[in-house]
Amino acid sequence: MLTASIHGFILSFGLILPLGVQNVFVFNQGAIQPSYKKALPVILTASICDSVLITLAVLGISVIILKISWLNTLLLSAGILFLVYMGYVTWKSNPHSNSIEKASFTPKKQIAFAASVSLLNPHAIMDTIGVIGTSSVAYFGADKIAFTLACIFTSWIWFLSLAYVGRQTGRLESSAGFLALLNKVSALIMWGTAIYLAIQLLNK
C-alpha cells in the first residue's frame, strides 16, 4: 500500500504542477479575493472535480464515456465557449479598483468557472485517463484504493496551497500591478487553450 500511495502522490503531483488554466484560475482567485475563506468555492470545486475525474479514470468509466463521438464534440465546443468567455471576464477584471470585492468573482462564478476549466477541458481529461487511469491498472484491491486516495489527496493539498500562496501575494501592498499582469496572462492562457481545443475540434 505504501508503494502505491507514494506512486499516486508523485504521479498526481507531476500532472498537476505544470502551469495551466485550472492552476492559474485558482491562484488568481486566491490572490484577488479579499480573504482566503472567500476563495474556498474555487478551491473546493477544483478539488472535487479532480477527485471525480481521478475516480472515473481509475474505474475505467471515463474511457467508455469519451468513446462517444458526439459527447467528445460537445465537450470540446462547451470548453471553447467557456474559455473564451472566461478569458474576456478575466482580462476585463480590475484589481486596481477601490473595492477589491468588485474585482473578485462571486461564489457562483467561482464554482461555474472552476468546474468548466476542470471538466470541459478534454486535454486535461485525457491526461487523467491516459496517465492515472493507465497506471492504476497495475494495482488491485487495497493497493488500488491507496493509489487513488493518494492522487485525490495530492489534488486537495495542491489547490489549498495554491490559493493560499495567491492570497499571500494579494496581500502585498505592491501586488496590484502584479495582479493586473496576472489577469492578462491568465486570459491569454485561457484563449490559447481555447484555440488549441478549436484546432482539435476542426481536425476531428
Flag whether pLDDT at 137 surpasses 50.
yes
DSSP state of 39: G
Give the span between the Cα atoms of 165 and 167, in whole angstroms. 5
**Residue 119 pLDDT grade (very low, low, confident, very high; cuts 50, 70, 90):** confident
| Displacement of CA 115 from its chain's centroid (Å) | 8
pLDDT of res. 100: 44
| Displacement of CA 20 from its chain's centroid (Å) | 7
Tell me the three cell numbers of residue 77. 465546443
pLDDT of res. 181: 76
Concatenating the DSSP letter of every residue in 87-152 gives HHHHHH--TTSS-HHHHSPPHHHHHHHHHHHHHS-HHHHHHIIIIIIHHHTT--HHHHHHHHHHHH
What is the mean pLDDT of the segment spanning 61-86?
74
pLDDT in tens, 149-175: 999 999 999 999 999 998 888 777 555
CB 176 within 8 A of CB 59: no
Helix (H, G, I), strand (E, B) or coil at 33: coil
| Three-point CA angle 118, 120, 121, nearest 5° | 75
pLDDT in tens, 92-101: 766 554 444 4
**Residue 123 pLDDT grade (very low, low, confident, very high; cuts 50, 70, 90):** low
**Residue 15 pLDDT grade (very low, low, confident, very high; cuts 50, 70, 90):** confident
pLDDT of res. 101: 46
Handedness of CA 50, 18, 144, 72 (dihedral sign): positive
- pTM here is 0.77
pLDDT of res. 86: 77
Higher pLDDT, 101 or 127: 127
